């Protein structure tokens, strides 16, 4: 009996408590930098595309919303000829970001992507590629990768020893 009255009183006191609602369009909730929202493709610090078109994101994607076509530039540097994400299918799981070996594909804390037409939810490469480095400022895949691309031979990458001359090891 007493507990019933006490419950009523306690609930009544909530009339003077602060309200937890965030009035969304006017007030926005804080979204952390690692929030999983709209997907972007980032660039190197020196402006080149990070994506090497390895297809790992497309393979990791559980809903198959990522499609791309690999190609090479004259220097032998791989990049996607086109890159397409269908955001009407995307579940924002972040597995593509986990799979990416070059930090190219990243999820951003932007969730406001409503459209009236479904086709508008399909983002092409020019919609995805940003002019920034995203969450990994200093990273440049081609500068640490030990592959030969135009102007940078094997052994000239950062923290990479020159290739061993196999013939010099002969007895």
Partner 1 sequence: MLESPYPLWSLLGILFFALNIAAGLIWLERRLLGLWQDRYGPNRVGPFGLLQVVADMVKIFTKEDWIPPFADKWVFIGAPAIVVATVLMGFVVVPVTSGIVIADLNIGLLFFLAMSSLGVYSVVLGGWASNNKYALLGGMRAAAQMLSYEVFMGLAVMGTVLMAGTFSLGGIVQAQARTIWYVIPQFLGFVLFVIAGIAETRRLPFDLPEAESELVAGFHSEYSGMKFGMFFVGEYIGLVLISSMITVLFLGGWLGPWLPALVWFLIKVFGCIAFFILLRASLPRPRFDQLMTWGWKIMLPLALANLLVTGAIVVAVR
Binding interface with partner 1 (CB under 8 A): 4, 7-8, 10-12, 14-15, 17-21, 23
Q: C-beta of 4: minimal distance to partner 1 in Å?
A: 7
Kindly tell me which of 29 and 164 has the beta carbon lying closer to partner 1.
29
Kindly tell me which of 29 and 170 has the beta carbon lying closer to partner 1.
29
Q: C-beta of 13: minimal distance to partner 1 in Å?
A: 9
What contacts 60, CB < 8 A, 6 or more positions away?
Answer: 95, 96, 98, 99
Listed in sequence order, the DSSP H helices in the chain are 2-13, 56-60, 95-99, 125-128, 141-144
Kindly tell me which of 1 and 32 has the beta carbon lying closer to partner 1.
1
The Cα 171–Cα 11 span in angstroms is: 89
Q: C-beta of 29: minimal distance to partner 1 in Å?
A: 15
Q: C-beta of 16: minimal distance to partner 1 in Å?
A: 9
């Amino acid at each position: 009996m007493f507990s019933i009255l006490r419950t009523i009183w306690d609930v009544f006191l909530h009339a003077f408590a602060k309200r937890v609602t965030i009035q969304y369009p006017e007030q926005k909730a804080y979204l952390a930098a690692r929030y999983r929202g709209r997907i972007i493709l980032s660039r190197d610090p020196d402006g080149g595309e990070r994506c090497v078109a390895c297809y790992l994101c497309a393979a990791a994607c559980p809903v198959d919303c990522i499609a791309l076509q690999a190609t090479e530039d004259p220097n032998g540097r791989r990049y996607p000829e086109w890159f397409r994400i269908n955001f009407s299918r995307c579940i924002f799981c972040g597995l593509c970001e986990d799979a990416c070996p070059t930090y190219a594909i990243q999820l951003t804390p932007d969730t406001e992507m409503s459209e009236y037409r479904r086709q508008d939810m399909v983002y092409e490469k020019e919609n995805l590629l940003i002019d920034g480095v995203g969450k990994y400022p200093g990273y440049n895949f081609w500068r640490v990768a030990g592959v030969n691309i135009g102007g940078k031979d094997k052994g000239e990458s950062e923290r990479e020893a020159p290739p061993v001359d196999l013939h010099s090891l002969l007895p």
